[in-house]
Chains A and B, each alone.
Chain A
Amino acid sequence: MNTRSQVLLWGAQRASAMVLALCVIVHFITIIYAVRNGLSAVEILGRTRGSIAWGGFYFLFVAAVAVHAPIGIRNICVEMGWRSRGVDVLMFVLALTLAMWGLRAVWAVVL
């Protein structure tokens, strides 16, 4: 991977970290709010079904995770000595997998 791409990956990881910091806070507050009367699928779906706001929020959350996690794991691999092109390909696949899993879940609770 060329230097320019390495720098952009670093920038993407920093930017996604900022997004994640906000998303995790909102997520925690929502968890505490959601379990106040016990947790039920009806209540969750009642909040999320058809909600553009919650759909947008979770879409952003999933996108940030899909960007952030593979870059971090790539850094660990590089530091542990795995520096071939294979690690970049594998991390791209991991990013797509995380995005797919996450978006499928968002799809399930919003639509």
Chain B
Amino acid sequence: MDSSSILVIDDELHIRQFLRAAFEFEGFAVQEASDAEEGIRSATLKPPDLIILDLGLPDRDGSSVIERLRSWSNVPIIVLTVRSREREKVRLLELGADDYVVKPFGIGELIARARAALRPRAVTPLGDPVVRVGRLEINLATRAGTFDGKRLVLGPKEYLVLQILAQHAGRVVTRQQIMKQVWGGSHLDDTHYLRIVVRNLRKKIEVDPTRPRILLTELGVGYRLGT
């Protein structure tokens, strides 16, 4: 059981109702807001641990809500979106959204995303330097990885990509975010190199590299390390 608090910002009453029920069953505390202004106000007055934000709000568009929230808070935000808007998803993730779920969705999917988003974002100096994702272990202190207990031989770029994904385990990371951290700001559009690194990584950490189960692709958006 979880005791985190969740703020649902959605103009559809029915959606708010089932989200409240679902998260309360899981032990979360739920607040609701029916438009962007109310949402931003609630987030200020009583900061939640996680925000679920519907993009189709009547009073403001999603990106400006995220920008407003991000100007003073780094609370995890999960966006509810519709299919075939990949550019928009990428933009929202770049603005600071943590993940997205495509409507219509089963509640299990949303709860899994919420749990992943609630996990601490990065390892603190006092924390455990080992990130574990399934059978994969990455030691951020020694910059070494093991898979099923066997040591992985990783190139420097491969290690960096894997480390970024592991630190966001279960959450989507856009290609631009990875590119920026691994290759620096000047190569943001050359995502081809990233594709090659990913292909090589899959040969090392996947049982069947052509049918990945750990390093997953979010088409048109980025990658996600499965948990």
Q: Answer whether A and B are interacting partners.
A: no
